[in-house]
Chains A and B, each alone.
Chain A
């Protein structure tokens, strides 16, 4: 069983389209995250949810909208896709919002988004 699963793994689309990436975790964790990894491999936090509540909302265009229907799911919807949105998007989860040793973040396999 995959602990953090995100779909799709690859997403190729045209500029201006709207797309969604889904994420589910079966670890029973309270907190979930979305990261963007650019072409230089730099990881940037986008959003964090704790028990369906938005905790972190970094400087991200409002074309990006996270949705958490329950604490096991955190989906990412992107409107009006732009060339600069091309990147790898990672979903992650952790047991707590903050904490010490037990608060390891576990990552999904990533979604490689290519905007043409």
Chain B
């Protein structure tokens, strides 16, 4: 069955430190895609980064990078030099057929 697991319900990180948010997935598809979204307290869902299963390089978007380990079926989000504005819920999702399968999310709090 297709499944996304985010094992960290919540994390506290000191400002300016790097943070890794874990995401593992389960799929029998050969071709799939992995997404990370951010949901700040204001509620909107913001797309951050995407990794395709056949992409040879790990995806990067500014301070966001995706540590993709296909054999381990993990797609961890790395945020470098965290900022107070990074405090939010973070969701990992996987494309499966016509829809996204979502993880339960990780609440990240950046401490000043």
In the complex, whether B97 has a CB less than 8 A from a CB of chain A is yes
In A87-104, which residues have CB < 8 Å from any B CB? 88, 90, 92, 97-98, 100-101, 103-104
Task: Determine which of B31, B45, B47 lies in contact with A90 in the assembled complex, contact meaning CB atoms within 8 Å.
Answer: B45
Instruction: Report the separation of the CA atoms of residues A62 and B44 in the bound assembly, to the nearest whole angstrom.
Output: 27
Cβ of B45: which chain A residues have Cβ within 8 Å of it?
90, 92, 107, 110
Question: A20-28, A42-50, A63-71, A73-81: which lies at the B interface?
Answer: A42-50
Residue A109 interfacial (CB < 8 Å): yes
Please classify how large the interface on chain A is, using the bins under 10, 10 to 19, 20 to 34, 35 or more. 20 to 34
Chain A residues within 8 Å of B37, by CB: 107
- 23 A-B residue pairings within 8 Å (CB atoms): A33-B99, A41-B39, A41-B89, A41-B105, A43-B91, A44-B102, A45-B99, A45-B100, A48-B98, A56-B99, A90-B45, A97-B98, A98-B95, A98-B98, A100-B31, A101-B33, A101-B52, A104-B35, A106-B47, A109-B43, A110-B44, A110-B45, A112-B43
Closest 8 CB pairs of A and B: A107-B45, A43-B102, A109-B44, A110-B43, A41-B105, A45-B99, A104-B47, A100-B52
